[in-house]
Amino acid sequence: MIVVTGAAGFIGSCLVSKLNEMGISDLIVVDHYDHESDPKKMNLVGKKYVRYFDKAEYLKLLRRDGFDFDVSCIFHMGACSSTTLQDAEYFEKNNFEYSCEVAKWAIKYKARLIYASSAATYGDGDQGYSDDEDNISKLKPLNLYGLSKQKFDLWVLKNQYQSQVVGLKFFNVFGPNEYHKDDMRSVVAKAYEGVVSEGKMKLFKSYNNEYKDGEQKRDFIYVKDVVDVMIFLMQRPEVNGIFNVGTAKACTWNQLAQALFLAVNKNPHIEYIEMPEILRSRYQYFTQADMHKLRAAGYTKPFTSIEESVADYCRYLKNRIYI
């Protein structure tokens, strides 16, 4: 049996779809719905799995050793991913403490654990973007979300679990099934309708003299590539540690916008707008994954280009199709 937490979320649901595509339906899916009509529910429509657990119920079972399924692998994708939320206590319980419980159970019962960390742990990039263990302890995230992910990475290292589990520092992931994320959706998802209907797109101005408006750089990675990495690691239990998951090729927001305009056959028209005050001191102007560690572990598949990724995603956005 394979457990996927955050299974109704963005990356989790795409992973469930891929596992189903591979003929794997012996899945336990874990998530939490805020209300009966929670749009996340759409991400699991048509998916094949054995049972759904609410996050709270799953956590109670773990704590009292009442989870009696024979589990071979846990994909722990469940977390609050808001970069603007200012509730430290919530991040502590939902992202850190919850992850510790999942990890302790996995270690105890020898289930493979693959968990989601984040490139938000790298902060302003002063320490570079290396996923080497010596570098991880030096990182200084810029927001509570990044801090919660950093704290768990450090907990894994402190307990020397890195030889038994896999942590994945996801960079800027975008693609189908993020429709429910509101303001936390990718820029491609948020801008699509306006580009199609009006031929216009908005990007944040730069407040760093080293970068012109729209020339801030991020390592954007398509969700299908992320899922391929996770499947690779599931199939190779001898590969463990904390890894970056990006393309190793940063591109500008302007390049991303150009790819979107091209995908929908529109002439580019970009408006640069003020960035909210809350983000200005916490904004990452450059991210680029160092992918040597994952490549050295045997992952050889090339990552999809930004142009191909955006074009493929637009085919889903056109009719709000799910993976």
Which residues form the catalytic set?
145, 181
**CA torsion, ordered 4, 9, 12, 14, to nearest 10 deg:** 140
Helix or strand or coil: residue 290? coil
**CA angle 191–193–196, rounded 5-degree value:** 105
β pairing state of 251-252 and 217-218: antiparallel
Place of tokens 């899922």: 227
Helix or strand or coil: residue 127? coil
Closest CA to 251 of 200, 298, 303: 303
Burial 207-237 (b: 16+ CB within 10 A, else e): eeeebebbbbbbbbbbbbbbbbbbbbbbeee
Structure tokens at 49: 């799995």
Provide the CA 208 distance to its chain's centre, in angstroms.
26
Farthest CA pair distance, the chain:
59
Is 239 exposed, middle or buried (CB count within 10 Å of its CB: 0-12, 13-18, 19+)? middle
What's the rounded Cα separation, in Å, for the pair 173 and 288? 13
206, 216 in Cβ contact below 8 A? Answer: yes
